[in-house]
Amino acid sequence: MDPRRTPGQRAGLSREQVLAAARDSLLERGLSGLTMRAVAQRLGVAPNALYSHVPDKAALVEDLLDDALGAVPDPPADADWRTGLRDLMARTHAVLLDSPDLVPLYLGRGARGPNARRLGAGVLDLLARGGVTGPEAQEALRALIVYTIGFAAFEVQPGPEDADPGERSAGLSGTFDRGLGWLLAGIGG
């Protein structure tokens, strides 16, 4: 049986299927090869079948970025503010490292979807528990995001040819943790 549908047949796609096909396409072809046509082809549907799930490529990329952030859980409601921030940023860092093909996109575009807003609100709540509010909290949020994404971007780049990847990863992970501690100490001033 041919999996392709004839014109007019409903594709029966889910958002998750569209995002999974887009992730695979991005990994295989890069951002320039991530097109609505390529995603549709991967799913065996006409490109117009995707438009009920995503209006265009820019929205598709935004959905990919936000979907990955969905794996970052909220900090416990009773967490100490510094511990909660450390945990939240470390989990975000881990999610970024699990999706290295997305990291450059976070640098260039950022993420503004529901998961990004949820995590941003969580950071601001934790900062408020530590007495950091208003413009200072917004600056601290920006600094934490830039540090976490920037460090992940450095880590996903290949290391020197003579470097052991396991040692490099362990060393960088330790550096990320220490740097995050210093950043949080400075924020709490």
The pLDDT tens digits of the residues spanning 120-170 come to 999 999 999 999 999 999 999 999 999 999 999 888 887 677 676 667 677
The pLDDT tens digits of the residues spanning 23-49 come to 999 888 888 888 999 999 999 998 888
How confident is the prediction for the chain on average, in pLDDT?
Answer: 87
Instruction: Between 168 and 105, name the one with better pLDDT.
Output: 105
Q: End-to-end alpha-carbon separation of the chain, Å?
A: 66
For residue 13, the one-letter residue type is L
The pLDDT tens digits of the residues spanning 40-82 come to 999 999 888 888 888 898 899 999 999 999 999 998 888 899 9
Residue 174: pLDDT above 50? Answer: yes
Closest residue by Cα to residue 136 from 127, 146, 147? 127
